[in-house]
Amino acid sequence: MKGYFVTFFTQQNREHEGIPLATWIIEKAQKLGVGGATLFSGKEGFGHDGRFHSENLFDLEDTPLQVAIALSAEECDRLLDCINKNNLRVFYTKSEIEFGFTSES
């Protein structure tokens, strides 16, 4: 199947509707029928604003997070539309891919 690999970048302390933004994205993707998503936690990084983010004992809520999803073009459009309709500003990357399973079982 042809589609897209989309990765959203955020931090643990960003929330929408009272839940972490990364969790909100995963829940919306599931409700839209996307087959799966993975949440990755990073050790450290910096954002477009130059601010340093890290996982440390003093500031665990600033941990960098990535939500990675392989999805069809239609699923991608629906998910990005949902994020935009909620007026969320989230950095993402989107690459064309081929995806599927290695066997029927």
Q: How confident is the model at residue 54 (pLDDT cuts 50, 70, 90)?
A: low
Using alpha carbons only, give the angle 12, 6, 44 rounded to the nearest 5 degrees.
35
d(CA 96, CA 15): 29
Q: Which residues pair with 35 in a beta bridge?
A: none
Q: Which CATH number belongs to the domain containing residue 20 in this structure?
A: 3.30.70
In the predicted model, is pLDDT for residue 53 greater than 70? no
In the chain, how many domains are there? Answer: 1
Q: State the pLDDT at residue 55.
A: 58
> Would residue 99 count as lying in a domain?
no
> What's the domain range around 42?
2-63+70-89
Residues forming a β-bridge with 95: 5
The number of C-alpha atoms within 13 Å of 40 and in the hemisphere containing its C-beta is 10
pLDDT at 89 over 60: yes
Model pTM?
0.84
Residue 101 within any structural domain of the chain? no
For the chain, what is the largest distance between any 2 Cα atoms, rounded to a whole number of angstroms?
Answer: 47
23 within domain boundaries: yes
Q: Is residue 103 part of a domain?
A: no
Closest CA to 91 of 55, 45, 58: 45
Average pLDDT on 9-35 reads 95
Place of tokens 């897209």: 4
Would 96 be classed as within a structural domain?
A: no
